[in-house]
Chain A
């Protein structure tokens, strides 16, 4: 290709790229970097008074405060329930739905439904189910309200998270299973491998890239979730050990208008996310077999 042609080519390329890259720069990269500046300023009680520079001390104070540490604990517990159980159930459903049987499309549709319910809808569904007056708990002989119990509030919200994430994990695993070469599975069957040993020795290893993708995506979204806790518990979250960091970020922006603290929390949570996903890449990705 001529030099002139190539130059025209790059002019076209920049025109094609401009809208997307400008938007991503302004609304993703800039605000991400801006956290590090915002974190150095203490927000004033009124928007009319400019915020004052306080330096990195605000960040250290925030991440050593008991509110943050309790929030971190709640966030980690929530994630440790949602991700393993959601992934396990999603995988089991996908293995079930990957059989060649008539009517399978109906089961696949049912198993994917939890993906379509957003935060508000999931909260309403489970509030109806678990409500101490109208739900099914009194019928089961349980007369406590799990949402006001310091022991149960967080696990119950994690249960809702499991239900929501399960559908996504199912879709990932089913797509992965469908790209697994069936001849390998047939070979395993011919060699006399049973259902369980085929699952653990053949299917899961072959599915490992998919499982790893679903695991990292699920972990990142669980670490930042707060929606059902905001809706079902709201201002009581600290008193029932459910004040997850996502909720603290939201409250600092919208309720307290304390952008400095919100930025500190964003940075801290992002670092936590990096550490956890980094550990996953370090210790799990080695065991992922990409070879097909």
Chain B
């Protein structure tokens, strides 16, 4: 074998070795969590620890749904995350279209104010938002849970960027064809920015699903309203016995499993879309 080919092979092997070691390090915490969830409770806390479950006990995953009301929490999370995602995608599409394609007075000022909202962390607004939701009578309801998140400055910015890439000639051509702004928006605009809609949907859903502070404030005293994250927090906080440990550990696996699967299929889109506003 020529020396160059050998060197190439060696470099490849070295790359795979480094990649695999890195992958093991990144996955180790998650892997140990899966192992713990499958261990028989009597084996938890064994020294040395088990790095694989000798007799996997899958029953715990059923217990999470039957005993710990997790089915209910997951339904709450699905409702909360879907409402936030649908509303923020729709409001972002409308506003993004207006900022990119239409001319109107105060455009620059309004766009500047939209960008200002991106720079304000939610935590800074939480005090007054809590009081607003209490005054509106929606405290500890599903409406109160989603109300502050139905529009997103970041989403508007992403959608504006997407619409800006629609060539102006396409718009002029369709105006001549007799489409008004509304007709153009629905028949031409939305189909053209479909990839960005997909990306924004994924990112909005993931961040809504992982919300912590606001759902905790809204549902800490209302069991029927708890999202899966808060259900897990409650289960975690109320348990002190080791035998109940694999129940909340299993619950945490259930919470991320759907996203793990989504990540496998949509990893490329996620990378492209999470960053499209910030990179370049």
Please report A residues at the B interface, Cβ cutoff 8 Å.
6, 9-10, 12-14, 16-17, 19-21, 23-24, 26-32, 34-35, 38, 92-93, 96-97, 99, 101, 105, 107-121, 123-129, 133-136, 138-139, 163, 166, 168, 171-172, 174-176, 178-179, 209-210, 213-214, 217, 220-221, 224, 227, 231, 234, 246, 249-250, 253-254, 259, 262-263, 266, 269-270, 273
Q: Is B32 an interface residue (CB 8 A)?
A: yes
Q: Which of B94, B126, B217 sits near A19, CB closer than 8 Å?
A: B94
- Alpha-carbon separation in the docked complex, A259 to B18 (Å): 51
Total interface residues on B, CB under 8 Å, equals 97
> For B229, what are the chain A residues with a Cβ–Cβ distance below 8 Å?
118-121
Q: A93-B26, A116-B260 are in contact. Are A29 and B275 (CB under 8 A)?
A: no
Binds A, one of B52-60, B62-70, B190-198, B232-240: B232-240
Q: Is the CB of B151 within 8 A of A13?
A: no
Q: Closest CB of chain A to B20's CB: distance in Å?
A: 8
The answer for the CA separation of A133 and B47 in the assembled complex, in Å, is: 9
Do A17 and B210 touch (CB < 8 A)? no
From DSSP, what is the main secondary structure of chain A's interface residues?
Answer: helix
Say yes or no: B48 contacts A34, CB within 8 Å: no
User: Of B26, B29, B105, B279, which one neighbours A213 at CB under 8 angstroms?
Assistant: B279
Known: A17-B95, A96-B22. A105 touches B267 (CB 8 A): yes
Chain B minimum-CB-distance residue to A255: B220
Alpha-carbon distance A246/B122, docked complex (angstroms): 11
Contacts A13-B98, A120-B236, A136-B49: A23 and B271 contacting too (C-beta < 8 A)?
Answer: no
* Cα-based distance from A35 to B123 in the complex (angstroms): 11
Q: A110-B23, A259-B130 are in contact. List 11 more A-B contacts (CB 8 A).
A: A10-B102, A17-B99, A112-B267, A120-B212, A120-B252, A123-B236, A124-B33, A124-B252, A127-B236, A210-B275, A254-B217
- Chain B contact residues: helix, strand, loop or mixed: helix
Given contacts A134-B44, A174-B271, contact A163 B121 (CB under 8 A): no
Asked if A113 contacts B126 (CB within 8 A), the reply is: no
**How far apart sit A121 and B237, CA to CA, in the bound complex (Å)?**
13
Check if B249 is an interface residue, CB within 8 A of chain A.
yes
Complex Cα distance A13/B251, Å?
Answer: 46
Partner of B213 from the list A16, A113, A126, A227 (CB cut-off 8 Å) is A227
Per a CB cutoff under 8 Å, which of A138, A175, A220 touches B274? A175
> A134 to B185, alpha carbons, bound, how many Å?
57
Q: Which A residues are in CB contact (< 8 Å) with B129?
A: 27, 31
The interface residues of chain A lying within 8 Å CB-to-CB of B22 are 92-93, 96, 107, 111
B188 within 8 A of A: no
List 24 A-B residue pairs with CB atoms under 8 Å apart, sorted by A's residue number: A9-B102, A9-B181, A12-B102, A12-B181, A13-B102, A13-B104, A17-B99, A23-B150, A27-B147, A28-B148, A31-B125, A93-B22, A113-B263, A116-B206, A118-B210, A119-B229, A120-B229, A172-B278, A175-B271, A210-B275, A249-B126, A254-B216, A259-B131, A266-B125
